[in-house]
Copies of this chain bind each other. A is one copy, B any other.
Amino acid sequence: MRPTLQDMADILNLSKSTVSRALSGDPRVAQATRARVESLAKSIGYTPNPIARGLATRRTNTIGLAVPCAPRSLSDPFYLEFLGHAGNAAMKCGYSLLLSAAEEDGADTHNAHVRLASSARIDGMILTEPKIKDERIAALKKAGIPFVFLGMTSDPDVSWVSCDNRLGAAEAVAWLTGLGHTRIACLTGPADQTASDARYRGYCEALDEAGIPLDLNIVASGDFTQAGGHAAMREILERGKTVSAVFASNDVMALGAMCALRESGLSVPEDVSLVGFDGIAFAQYSTPPLATVQQPIDELGNASVEVLIKLMCGDNGGPIHRVMPARFRPAGSVAAPGRAFVLESPD
């Protein structure tokens, strides 16, 4: 059996309190006593029980991380990279990371997030995929623990960390128009997520800037999964619409779209240029390498933890918002449009 504080106290002829203080670095304890306590602890391998401590202090030194909602999953590449960075950052600060069990019923991930938040198992929580109207927020506020979103929220009173989705998307699409593309398809994310919305706005703005009218026939909605990207791309192709470029709202969908294009006998970038969003590690290894809007995933991970810790320490001067740049990164998947798409032939 693990030795307990009581065991320590008994052996040393001290009270539990003194032992507890000695171990937690409380100044009001004699040097000699502290030394005895520490040495005994080391020799019998005593280490405080975090569960008991958690019950007494209502702090667990644990950060909860919300698991993505279906159809995305824990295995989503972007999420996983984020998880890695956030986890490293959290541990560097002495926090553990808890990935909560989903709802028994399976379906309602949102509910699981709220339950985790109000479970007393964590001191703070990091959430992803904010929705435009996110029912979790009210519940989270009621739960009373600090939380931070990866991605902007509509509610101005919520802390978040995000890249500039709109600007990043606009920059990417502007690059395409700059090359002479005028038929640029858009594969959007789920309509209810703020990120989808912002990226779509960036797309529209860049078209507008270039004087290209928005054509909803070449816009299709995906769900941020590879299968979704594949389906959305097929949908546009099956509408019989020709495009010279595609802006996918995330990299995973772009990779799905790449397959769909190939299946239709179109090659990237000769026939169709392709751009993604996120900058997941795969992107640079695909064939051809995927041009994408690079999010600073490591910094987002670090910042999420940093902001959350600030919040957990009660440094509460209102909500904290942190925007990081997302920069377009050209790569082999984009090229100037083929002859068929150039309005004014150069020769």
Residues of A within 8 A of B (CB): 2, 47, 49-52, 54-55, 60-62, 67, 73-77, 80-81, 83-85, 87-88, 90-92, 94-102, 104, 115, 118-121, 255, 281-282, 285-289
Contacts and interface: CB of A to CB of B under 8 A. Distances in A.
A141 to B, nearest CB: 14
B120 A49 contact: yes
A52 B67 CA distance: 24
A325 to B, nearest CB: 21
A287 B283 CA distance: 11
A291 to B, nearest CB: 14
A87 B99 contact: yes
Contact of A115 (B47, B75, B91, B104): B47
Contacts of A91: 67, 74, 99-102
A97 B99 contact: yes
Interface centre among A47, A49, A90, A101 (most CB of B within 10 A): A101
A73 B84 contact: yes
**Nearest 4 CB-CB pairings of A with B:** A75-B84, A285-B285, A97-B99, A285-B286
Given A61-B101, A98-B62, A119-B49, A77 B287 contact: no
Contacts of A104: 94
B101 A88 contact: no
Nearest to A106: B92
Contacts of A62: 98
Contacts of A54: 51
Contacts of A47: 115, 118-119
A249 to B, nearest CB: 19
Contacts of A87: 67, 74, 99
Given A62-B98, A67-B91, A74-B85, 10 more contacts: A51-B121, A52-B120, A74-B83, A74-B88, A75-B88, A83-B83, A97-B99, A285-B285, A286-B287, A287-B287
Nearest to A139: B45
A160 to B, nearest CB: 23
Given A94-B101, A285-B286, A287-B285, A120 B84 contact: no
